[in-house]
Structure 1
Amino acid sequence: MKNISSIQNSYIKELIKLQEKSRERKKKQLFLVEGKREISLVIDSSYKIKTVLFINDNTIDNEEILNQLPKDIERIEISKEVYEKLAYRETTEGIIAVVQSIDFSLSNLKFNTPTPLIMVMEGIEKPGNIGAMLRTADAANVDAVLIANPKTDLFNPNIIRSSVGCVFTNQIAVDSSENIIHFLLQNNINIYSATLQNSNAYHKEDYTKASAIVVGTEATGLTEIWREKATQNINIPMQGKIDSMNVSVACAIAVFEAKRQRNFI
């Protein structure tokens, strides 16, 4: 087993670039995951772990998570200094995995039901909002999450952190709005676009058939194509003085209304 104690090590420098730069993650098709819970979710997913780096410290118990890993995965013992240089979070769990990216093509989606429930987010930029919606998607056990016109890559460490690893628990595809709309219509999936224009109250629609609930940015909302191609535009009636709410909250309200109608809650 290797042992690395210097932050000047060439391999560690490569990993720092992966942590800090989206361009490097795309180029190498690799990204970092830290924390026991998140790495456990990776192990149970379709992602492949290439290497695990960990601190061998009596105050940190990583034995259980290390025992879950296949024997052929490379393991590298690192110093606390190296770990702190690589870690994104302030809390220390002492273990980091180097994980291989997967293909987010629409063609890879598989549904186990003729009436899938799908979450679609268009142009969402803030990692915290993306992470929160991935958590909602996992909690509601939606059939897929589709990301249209992405503004950040899904392996951004802040998305992994804010999603508490739900990047790995959801079936995800990424493409343009045009291609996603074509996919939904081709598969006879109703489109419910969250927008104020020409819309009905969200709870008055029927989501028991194959349905996609679509949300856009808080600043500009959805692009025109989503409003034009929607089966029905929907809104959440506001009873206070403002006319909108956080996009992740709005998305959760609509998704769980769909789950309620399907008698799952």
Structure 2
Amino acid sequence: MLKKITSAQNREIKRLLQLQDKSRNRKKEGVFIVEGKRETQLALKGGYEAVHFYFCPNLVDFDEVIKLAKASEETSPEIIEISLEVYEKVAYRGSTEGVITVFNSREHELKDIVFKNQNPLILVAEAPEKPGNIGALLRTADAAAVDAVIIANPKTDLYNPNIIRSSVGCVFTNQVAIGNTTEIIEFLKNKNIGIYAAALQSSRVYHEIDFSPASAIVVGTEATGLSDQWLENSTQNIIIPMQGAIDSMNVSVAAGILIFEASRQRSI
């Protein structure tokens, strides 16, 4: 028989809420939550293993949930029906699709990155903190089809629900690795990947750079920029000329400009 939950006070529902709200709970259990059919489909396509499917019959057909579950047959995920009241308690979004999935998380180590060509294009973000910015960076990386996204010294858990939501599931479509600045620089140098650090000091205008060889475009926070370690180890610092009164822009916007210039050069 299909398991059903109708009370928001149910212990299992309280666990879901804690998984959403607390990074330490996600890390301790090795799982995270995905809300919505599209995001769930992207996670499944990305090879993530589903553990539980929670669905609200008021919002989604059971047959659709079965199709999702069949895409994760190796883990034999449990399907659980929840009431509309319970779903509204757990769901982040007001307009949603009736599906909440619990997935096993990954380690995202540098050694697991696999490049499909000899001149990969990589986006590196140092110490990103705001989930919305991280999500936007992942969307940009997906749109430009970069080979990998590397996050240095992250301030936020990659499986934060706000990152998953703001990335529109692109956290699952990109090859993502996490590490500290020292080991990432060492990784890039060992792979003979040029390091192009977005910075004001000793910089060249970004469109003057040849990004066709293996390249890593590195961006920092709007408040503090990149650490000295990146500037000391960069192949070339690069800059986006500013025409207004300020000397910086949103990190995801800057990354988009740089990444798409590199992509444009590679398509010529």
TM category (shorter chain) comes to over 0.9
Is it true that 1:85 corresponds to 2:89 in the alignment?
A: yes
Length-normalised TM-score, structure 2:
0.95
Conserved 8 A contact 1:22-1:156: yes
Q: Which residue in 2 is equivalent to 1:248?
A: 252
Q: 1:36 & 1:257 partners in 2: Cα distance?
A: 33
CA distance in 1, matches of 2:195, 2:64: 44
8 Å contact from structure 2 (residues 55, 65) kept in 1: no
Distance 1:43 1:52 in 2: 12
**Residue number in structure 2 paired with 1:225:** 229
Matched with 1:20 is 21
The number of residue pairs the alignment matches comes to 263
Whether the 8 Å contact between 1:62 and 1:95 is mirrored in structure 2 is: no
Q: Please give the residue correspondences for 1:177-192 in structure 2 after superposition, counting only pairs within 5 Å.
A: 177-192=181-196
**How far 1:63 sits from its partner (Å)?**
3.3
Task: Name the amino acid aligned to 1:243.
Answer: D
Query: Deviation string for 1:108-152 (max 9, x for gaps)?
Result: 010010100000000010111100010000001100000000000
Match of 2:264 among 251, 260, 264: 260
1:14-163 matched pairs, under 5 angstroms: 14-57=15-58, 60-61=60-61, 63-70=63-70, 72-163=76-167
Point out the more displaced range, 26-35 or 68-77: 68-77
Q: Report how far residue 171 of structure 1 moved.
A: 0.3
In 2 relative to 1, CA 13–259 (structure 1 residues): closer, same or farther, beyond 3 Å?
same
User: Can you give the 5+ residue segments of structure 2 that lack an aligned partner in the other structure?
Assistant: none
- Matched position secondary structure for 2:32: strand
| Aligned mates of 1:196, 1:11 — CA distance in 2 | 51
Deviation for aligned residue 1:42: 1.0
| 1:214 alignment counterpart | 218
The two structures, once aligned, show a CA RMSD in angstroms of 1.2
Q: Note the C-alpha offset of 1:222.
A: 0.2
- What's the offset of the Cα at 1:242? 1.4
Q: Distance in 2 between matches of 1:217 and 1:167?
A: 19
Query: What percentage of residue pairs aligned between the two structures are identical?
Result: 58
Alpha-carbon separation, structure 2, partners of 1:61 and 1:192: 49
Counterparts of 2:121 and 2:101, CA distance in 1: 32
Deviation at 1:92, TM superposition (A): 2.7
Paired position in structure 1 for 2:202:
198
User: Displacement of 1:62 after TM fit?
Assistant: 5.8
8 Å CA contact 1:50–1:73 kept in 2: the answer is yes
- How much does 1:69 deviate? 2.2
Structure 1 distance, partners of 2:160, 2:107, is 16
Q: Which moved more, 1:24-33 or 1:83-92?
A: 83-92
2:239 aligned residue (226, 235, 243): 235
Q: CA deviation at 1:64?
A: 2.9
What one-letter code is carried by the residue in structure 1 that aligns with 2:194?
Answer: N
Q: 1:197 to 1:38 in 2, by over 3 A?
A: same
- Aligned partner of 1:8 in structure 2 is 9
Structure 1 runs (4+) deviating above 2 angstroms are 59-66
Alpha-carbon contact 1:55-1:95 (below 8 Å) kept: yes
Task: Specify the code of the residue in structure 2 equivalent to 1:69.
Answer: A
The normalised TM-score by structure 1 is 0.96
Query: 1:65 Cα deviation (Å)?
Result: 4.8
Question: Amino acid of the residue matched to residue 66 of structure 2?
Answer: L
SS at match of 2:222: coil
> Is contact 1:40-1:65 (8 Å) kept?
no
Cα distance in 2, alignment partners of residues 199 and 61 from structure 1:
55
